[in-house]
Chain A
């Protein structure tokens, strides 16, 4: 793998597309190994998945091959902070919602999630977290009847 900026050839977004398409195609084919193919008149559960995965692999190959022969275009710069913070805060929410109830989970989600943007101030973040948690508990859990415990105990 060449680092960003070092690429002379190859359209990087298209190569990534090819990798995604071929990856899903191969994964799908591998997962549908045990499935019955069936006949055209009596299609088994494995028929369409195989057709679709085959199509994905072919498409990925075509896109990837032509991308190799084009002028280089680098990937857009990646910023790790928003990506990591948002995903982690959602995963944390999922874990906390099950074990500690809505209030703790929601406070975590908003306070942790706010760290994705470096410009925030603590006071506004805490106020926002408190307000949204109260709103969420009233509207979603009391109002709409979403089944989630509110307190950790």
Chain B
């Protein structure tokens, strides 16, 4: 069995003391920011991206991945104990989790969340190990035309599955594409959209945009909101679910894992979408849907399993096709790029230790997280009492030094401040900045593949419908667009996201 040999290779990579250490650091950091409201994984990874430049490639990527799925664990802790979702994906967990805590079943809820997440993480890890090589083999047949269609499908699907108005999301992608074009044109060497500024010849650095839009503008927005309500922590009792809770939770965990793994792979999907969908599914299949919201264990188990599964399965399109499906994966893509690795089907064969090392580290990381979360829960809860007033100056410093260290240029810090202002304007305009990052990352790929296709066919665009894989993607794109125009679907989608905002 080849796959076992490869998994073994992965484990031997991931078990090296250094990689194990970075996996632990990532999981700890992820739990920390998951617990602290006001700092999300996107901003944290943006801040840490420049630092990974100083690490070996695998170690850096293992750490960043650990932050992402670690945040899913941490977010649930505060959701259950203090009714405060540390992460967007833990919002639904507050509904039943906090009620359970008020009934003195906090320990049970926390244990179900942690064990469910661990189970889901294990399944999703195997999902990546099995689906990864298959998809990558398939993707080796892709020519430039297929990539163009795939990217157009991915970008559009991401706008529809993400929350917020679709037109705004498409506009944000276009702005991202535009930012991606700044600098020297790859094909012709012409200098584009630079205002004649020498500093922009190499284009805009990804971290500059990410830290500006997510780091700086998030700090400003948090300070504007301020005045956080007093935190009351529910009392912790026994830390093991009762047999009754166990019996009810495990089918919900299975369903959550399934839906999460599936939704994570879709473009635009990810942890948040998965947890909301899992909760509504649980409500639908339950014989007593009216009890949801009063402390039902399924209402904790299923979304927690789903968000963790999705956090991991969203790595599949990135690792096998090289196409990020949400803004977190756009971050991961640039983490690979920093080390000169372009994720995609060829990485699996040319650098198997990267792919399998990451897969193995995810499983190890999940096991570490159960250990970090169960006995140490008291410690994390104490951290909640640290006021934001003391936190944001530290974040500010890390952001500034991080941006500077990419190229040792002051110009980048100023540019990031400008993007902070822009991000603030986008917030006021109620535009999600996520799709902009996707457009920015995919822009250069899209342009070079489009050019190549057109060059091969001498400007004949019919190739996109003549190649079968490309045709399927384009048909899927058209169907998605048509669905958006249909009023009934639009209403359903709006309803789904309304529930999310409530």
- A residues in contact (CB < 8 Å) with B: 13-14, 16-17, 20-21, 24, 28, 31-32, 35-36, 39-46, 48-49, 52-53, 55-56, 59-60, 62-63, 75-76, 78-79, 82-83, 86-87, 89-91, 93-95, 97-98, 106, 109-110, 113-114, 116-117, 119-120, 124, 128-129, 132, 136, 140, 144-148
Contact = CB atoms under 8 A, between A and B. Distances in A.
Contacts of B431: 17, 20
Contacts of B392: 113, 116-117
Main secondary structure of the interface of A (DSSP, over half): helix
Interface stretch (B218-226, B329-337, B345-353, B480-488): B218-226
B429 A20 contact: yes
A21 B176 CA distance: 11
A120 B389 CA distance: 7
Nearest to B221: A82
Given A90-B414, A95-B410, 10 more contacts: A16-B429, A40-B454, A40-B459, A42-B455, A43-B187, A45-B188, A59-B167, A109-B396, A119-B389, A146-B408
A153 to B, nearest CB: 19
B23 interface: no
Which 7 residue pairs across A and B have the least CB separation, nearest first?
A41-B459, A40-B459, A82-B223, A45-B190, A45-B185, A16-B429, A94-B413
A86 B220 contact: yes
Nearest to A34: B190
Contacts of B193: 28, 31-32, 49
B184 to A, nearest CB: 9
Interface stretch (B27-35, B273-281, B397-405): B397-405
A124 B391 CA distance: 12
A79 B227 CA distance: 14
Given A16-B428, A49-B193, A144-B51, A44 B188 contact: yes
B425 interface: yes
B4 interface: no
A148 to B, nearest CB: 7
Nearest to A124: B390
Interface residues of B, number: 60
Interface centre among A16, A86, A129 (most CB of B within 10 A): A86
17 contacts: A17-B430, A17-B431, A28-B178, A52-B181, A56-B171, A63-B167, A86-B220, A86-B396, A94-B410, A94-B417, A97-B400, A117-B223, A128-B393, A129-B393, A136-B401, A144-B54, A148-B401
Given A48-B447, A52-B177, A146-B404, A109 B424 contact: no
Contact of A110 (B185, B192, B396): B396
Interface of B: 51, 54, 167-168, 170-171, 174-175, 177-178, 181, 185, 187-188, 190, 192-193, 195, 216, 219-220, 223-224, 226, 388-390, 392-394, 396-397, 400-401, 404-405, 408, 410, 413-414, 416-417, 420-421, 424-426, 428-431, 447, 450-451, 454-455, 457-459, 461
Given A17-B168, A93-B413, A43 B223 contact: no
B226 A117 contact: yes
B455 A86 contact: no
A90 B220 CA distance: 12
A26 B193 CA distance: 12
A146 B401 contact: yes
A98 B409 CA distance: 9
Given A13-B430, A41-B459, A97-B404, A59 B174 contact: yes
A86 B216 contact: yes
Nearest to A120: B389
Nearest to B51: A144
A40 B420 contact: no
Contacts of B175: 20-21, 24, 56
Contacts of A43: 187, 450-451, 454
A90 B177 CA distance: 27
A52 B190 contact: no
B188 A36 contact: yes
A40 B461 contact: yes
B424 to A, nearest CB: 6
A41 B454 contact: yes
Given A48-B450, A86-B220, A41 B458 contact: yes
A90 B404 contact: no
Contacts of B426: 20
Contact of B171 (A60, A89, A124): A60
A49 B408 CA distance: 29
Given A75-B428, A91-B417, A132-B397, A39 B54 contact: no
